C-alpha cells in the first residue's frame, strides 16, 4: 500500500483520521463506520475495498490515489463547499453517531447525489447527456481524472459510441496510453471487449500503439468476473499472457451420483439465455464480493465490534434498477453454505468458458455437480415464513421480463444465444431455489467423508440406519447435525439432544426435546456480550491463521471456538420459548460443529492429494462468519428483550 495514499488522509464523509477503506467508483477514502454504510447501499452505489487487506491491481490503486490527491470528494460535496449555497446541510463529524447521522448524510451524498453540481433544468435531457458523453470521449485522451469523474457524475456514459469518431472513450484512452482513465472507465461499466467501426477492441488499440502493459490490463479487466470467481475458490488467477483465460477448480468430493433433478438443474442453467446467464454471473460476483468483504471485517475489526450494528451486511442490498424477483434471488445467495456456493461458482465458470468458446451443450457426467434434493416449489412458497430469510422491501412489480441493464464491464459479451427455447426469469430462479435446497444432502455427504467427533459417532449408533439422515427436515439452518425426523404430520417422533460437546452426558441444547418445557428466561445482556467477545477473539485468531496459510493452527483455533460456543449456549435455557433464539442457537452450534469438521480436513493426516486446501479455507471462513453472525443475533435479541 502506498504510504502517500494513507499519510495525512481523512475520511471523506466524517473526517476521521487514517481511513482504511476506499470507495473505488467515488474516488474517496472512508473510515470503518462510514464503510459499513457504503456497503449497505450496495455495489451499484459504492464499491468498497480495504486498503491493505485486499489485493489491488497496481493501476487501479494508482487511479484511486490520483483521485484522492486531486480532491475528487469535492465532486460529491459541491454545494456544501459553495459559500453561496444555502442548503442548510452540514457534513458529519467524527463525533456523530453512525445511525442515523452518518448514514443519512452518506445516503444523501451518494444515493441521492444531493450535493453534486446540477445542470440547469432546461439542459437535463438526452441531448445534454450526449454532449457530456462527447466531452468525456475527448477528455480521456488527457490525464485529468477528476474532470472525467465529474462528467461521469453528471451523466456521461462510459460506453458511449461516438457517431463521428466511430469508437468509444475506452478506445481513445487505450490508444493514448491513459491506463488510469481506462481503469476509471472500466469501473463505470465501459466494455473492454467492445469493437470500434473497424472491429478493433481497446486492447488492440493499446497493443498497436505500443502500450503493452495497458493492453494486458484490459484483457484482465475483460475477464474480471471469471478471474474473481476462480480466485475466490482456489486463490489463483489464469495466466492471460500465455493464453490461459479460465481456471475451473475441482471439488474434492467429485464422485457423486447425479439425481434427475440435479441433471435438470444443470441443463436449465446451460439453457439460460446469455442475458440471463450474465445476470446470474453478475449476482454471484456481487455475492463473492460481499462474502470476501465480510471476511475482511472479521479480521480487521476490534473483537467487541460484533455487538454493534456496523459489521454485518447479511445479504446483498436492494438495487432499485432490478426487478423484485431478481433482488430476492440475489439475497437468497447469502443462504448458500460454502459447499453449495462453491458448486454454483464452479458451474458458472464452466458454463462461461463453454459459452465463450462456442461449444454446444453436452450432457456428460460433470464431476463438479451437487446432489440436489427434490423440492416442491409450491410447498416452498406456501411455507415462506419458515424457510425464507427476511428481505429488504422491494417493489412488488410482477415483472419477469429481461430488464435493460448496462453491460457489465466484468463479463465478456456473448454473441450466440444457446437457449433451446424461451427461458423465463421464473425458470432462472428455479435454478437458484433448487441449489439452495440441497443443504441437508450436502451435510450428509460431509458427515460420511469427514472424521466425525466422538459425540456424533455415539449419536449415530442410536440411529438405525445412516440412510435415515436423508429425511432430515428443512429449516433455516438445516446444516445442524442430527435434526429430528418428522412424521407425516410434521411433528417430532422422538426428541434428540443437540450437542456439539465432546461428552453426551453434557449436552449443550435440547431444542427439540418434547420432554423439555419451553423456558422464556434469557441471560443478561452483559453475559452474552462477554461470551460473544470471547468467541470473536478466537475467530480472529483463526482468520489470522487462514490469512497466513497456517493450516496446522486451524484445529487448535476451532477447539477454542468450540469451547467458547459451548459456554455461550450454556447461558440459555435448554429449550428457549423464542423461535428466534432457537434459530440463532441452532446456527451457532451447528456452525461450530461444521467448523471443526472443516478444520480437520486441513490436518496433514486428513488432507489427501485431492484436497483443495483453498476451498477448505473458504469453507472454514464461512463457518466462522456464520458463528459470528449467530452470536450477533443473540446479542441483539437479548438486548431487545432485556430492555423491554
Q: Give Cα 321 distance to the centre of its chain.
A: 19
pLDDT confidence of residue 303: 53
pLDDT digits (tens, 9 = 90+) for 325-366: 999 999 999 988 888 888 889 989 999 999 988 877 654 333
Relative orientation angle of helices 525-547 and 613-643, to the nearest 10 degrees: 170
Q: Is residue 444 classed exposed, middle or buried when 0-12, 13-18 and 19+ CB atoms within 10 A define those classes?
A: middle
Measured distance CA(619)–CA(538) in Å, rounded: 17
What's the pLDDT score for residue 475?
35
Domain 21-204 and domain 525-642, same fold? Reply is no
SS (H, E, C) 25-67: CCCEEECHHHHHHHHHHCCCCCCEEECCCCCCCHHHHHHHHHH
What is the helix (H) or strand (E) element at residue 21, kind and residue range? strand 21-23
Task: Please report, for residues 46, 293, 381, the alpha-carbon distance to residue 42 in angstroms, rounded to integers and kept in the order given.
Answer: 6, 12, 27
Give the 3-state secondary structure of residue 168.
Answer: strand
Q: Are 136 and 148 in contact (CB under 8 A)?
A: yes
Query: And the C-alpha cell for 153?
Result: 457524475
pTM across the whole model: 0.63
Q: Could you tell me the three cell numbers for 222?
A: 475483460
Note the pLDDT tens digit of each residue in 112-124.
Answer: 999 998 766 544 5
Residue 615 near residue 337, CB atoms below 8 Å? no
Distance CA 301, CA 263 (A): 43
Residue 486 in 3-state DSSP? Answer: strand
Q: Per DSSP, what are the bridge partners of residue 498?
A: 509
Cα 330–chain centre separation? 10
Beta bridge partners of 519: 576
CA-to-CA dists, residue 82 to 36, 86, 148, 149, 321, angstroms: 28, 9, 21, 19, 32
Q: Round to whole Å and give the CA distance between 478 and 440.
A: 6
Nearest to 348 by CA among 404, 291, 408, 279: 279
Residue pointed to by grid coordinates 447521522: 101
The answer to whether residues 350 and 366 touch, using CB atoms and an 8 Å cutoff, is yes
**Interacting residues of 479 by C-beta distance below 8 A, sequence separation 6+:** 337, 439, 440, 442, 443, 590, 591, 594
Q: What is the sign of the dihedral through the CA atoms of 540, 312, 390 and 423?
A: negative
CA distance 112 to 123: 19
Q: Which helix (H) or strand (E) holds 22?
A: strand 21-23
Cα distance between residue 392 and residue 394, in whole Å: 6
Domain locations in the chain? 21-204, 260-360, 525-642
Give strand pairing partners of 161.
168
Three-state SS for 183? helix
Task: Compute the distance between CA of residue 249 and CA of residue 229 in angstroms, rounded to an integer.
Answer: 10
Q: By C-alpha distance, which of 485, 537, 484 is closest to 512?
A: 484
**First-last CA distance in the chain:** 47
Q: C-alpha cell of 106?
A: 452518506
Architecture in CATH of 21-204: Orthogonal Bundle (1.10)
Divide the 644 residues of the chain into consecutive groups of 10 and give the mean pLDDT of each group: 54 95 97 93 96 94 96 93 68 91 94 85 67 96 95 94 96 97 97 94 96 96 96 91 89 54 74 92 96 85 54 86 93 88 89 88 40 30 38 36 37 33 45 45 41 41 43 36 34 34 38 65 87 86 82 89 91 86 88 88 73 78 84 84 76
Domain 525-642: assigned CATH number:
1.20.120.330
Rounded CA gap, 6 and 293, in Å? Answer: 20
Amino acid at each position: 500500500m502506498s504510504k502517500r495514499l494513507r499519510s495525512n488522509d481523512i475520511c471523506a464523509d466524517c473526517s476521521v483520521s487514517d481511513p482504511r477503506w476506499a470507495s473505488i467508483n467515488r474516488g474517496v477514502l472512508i473510515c470503518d463506520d462510514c464503510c459499513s454504510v457504503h456497503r449497505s447501499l450496495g455495489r451499484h452505489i459504492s464499491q468498497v475495498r480495504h486498503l491493505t487487506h485486499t489485493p489491488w491491481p497496481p493501476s487501479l490503486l494508482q487511479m484511486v490515489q490520483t483521485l484522492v490527491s486531486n480532491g475528487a470528494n469535492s465532486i460529491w460535496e459541491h454545494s456544501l463547499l459553495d459559500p453561496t449555497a444555502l442548503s442548510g446541510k452540514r457534513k458529519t463529524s467524527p463525533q456523530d453517531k453512525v445511525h442515523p447521522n452518518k448514514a443519512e448524510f452518506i445516503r444523501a451524498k451518494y444515493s441521492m447525489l444531493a450535493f453534486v453540481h446540477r445542470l440547469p433544468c432546461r439542459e437535463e435531457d438526452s441531448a445534454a447527456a450526449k454532449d457530456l458523453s462527447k466531452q468525456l470521449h475527448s477528455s480521456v485522451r488527457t490525464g485529468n481524472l477528476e474532470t472525467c469523474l465529474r462528467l461521469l457524475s453528471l451523466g456521461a456514459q462510459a460506453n458511449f459510441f461516438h457517431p463521428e469518431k466511430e469508437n468509444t472513450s475506452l478506445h481513445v484512452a487505450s490508444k493514448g496510453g491513459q491506463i488510469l482513465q481506462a481503469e476509471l472507465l472500466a469501473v463505470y461499466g465501459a466494455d473492454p471487449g467492445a469493437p470500434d467501426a473497424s472491429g478493433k477492441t481497446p486492447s488492440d488499440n493499446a497493443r498497436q500503439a505500443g502500450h503493452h502493459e495497458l493492453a494486458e490490463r484490459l484483457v484482465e479487466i475483460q475477464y474480471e468476473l471469471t478471474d474473481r470467481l476462480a480466485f475466490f475458490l482456489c486463490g489463483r488467477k489464469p495466466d492471460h499472457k500465455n493464453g490461459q483465460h479460465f481456471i475451473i477448480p475441482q471439488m474434492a468430493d467429485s464422485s457423486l451420483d447425479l439425481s434427475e433433478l440435479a441433471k435438470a438443474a444443470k441443463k436449465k442453467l446451460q439453457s439460460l439465455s446469455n442475458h440471463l446467464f450474465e445476470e446470474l454471473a453478475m449476482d454471484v460476483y456481487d455475492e463473492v464480493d460481499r462474502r470476501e468483504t465480510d471476511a475482511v471485517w472479521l479480521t480487521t475489526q476490534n473483537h467487541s465490534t460484533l455487538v454493534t450494528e456496523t459489521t454485518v451486511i447479511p445479504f446483498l442490498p436492494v438495487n432499485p434498477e432490478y426487478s423484485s424477483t431478481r433482488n430476492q434471488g440475489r439475497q437468497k445467495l447469502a443462504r448458500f453454505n460454502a459447499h453449495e456456493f462453491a458448486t454454483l461458482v464452479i458451474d458458472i465458470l464452466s458454463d462461461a468458458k463453454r459459452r465463450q468458446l462456442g461449444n454446444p451443450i453436452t450432457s456428460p457426467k460433470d464431476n463438479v455437480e451437487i446432489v440436489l434434493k427434490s423440492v416442491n416449489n409450491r410447498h416452498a412458497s406456501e411455507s415462506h415464513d419458515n424457510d425464507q430469510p427476511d428481505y429488504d422491501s422491494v417493489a412488488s412489480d410482477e415483472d419477469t421480463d429481461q430488464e435493460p441493464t448496462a453491460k457489465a464491464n466484468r463479463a465478456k459479451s456473448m454473441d450466440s444465444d444457446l437457449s433451446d427455447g424461451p427461458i423465463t426469469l421464473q425458470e432462472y430462479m428455479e435454478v437458484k431455489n433448487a441449489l439452495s435446497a440441497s443443504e441437508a444432502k450436502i451435510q450428509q455427504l460431509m458427515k460420511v467423508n469427514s472424521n466425525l467427533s466422538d459425540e456424533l459417532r455415539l449419536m449415530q449408533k442410536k440411529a438405525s440406519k445412516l440412510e435415515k439422515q436423508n429425511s432430515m427436515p428443512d429449516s433455516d439452518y438445516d446444516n445442524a447435525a442430527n435434526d429430528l425426523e418428522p412424521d407425516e404430520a410434521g411433528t417430532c417422533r422422538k426428541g434428540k439432544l443437540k450437542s456439539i460437546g465432546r461428552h453426551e452426558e453434557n449436552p449443550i441444547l435440547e431444542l427439540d426435546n418434547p420432554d423439555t418445557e419451553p423456558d422464556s428466561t434469557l441471560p443478561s445482556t452483559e453475559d452474552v456480550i462477554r461470551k460473544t467477545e470471547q468467541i470473536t477473539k478466537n475467530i480472529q485468531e483463526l482468520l489470522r491463521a487462514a490469512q497466513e496459510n497456517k493450516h496446522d493452527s486451524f484445529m487448535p483455533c476451532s477447539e477454542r471456538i468450540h469451547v467458547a460456543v459451548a459456554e455461550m449456549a450454556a447461558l440459555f435455557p435448554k429449550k428457549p420459548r423464542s423461535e428466534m433464539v432457537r434459530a440463532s442457537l441452532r446456527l451457532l452450534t451447528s456452525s461450530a460443529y461444521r467448523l471443526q469438521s472443516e478444520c480437520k480436513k486441513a490436518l496433514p493426516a486428513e488432507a489427501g492429494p485431492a484436497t483443495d486446501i483453498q476451498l477448505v479455507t473458504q469453507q472454514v471462513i464461512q463457518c466462522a462468519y456464520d458463528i459470528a453472525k449467530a452470536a450477533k443475533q443473540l446479542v441483539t435479541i437479548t438486548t431487545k428483550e432485556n430492555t423491554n
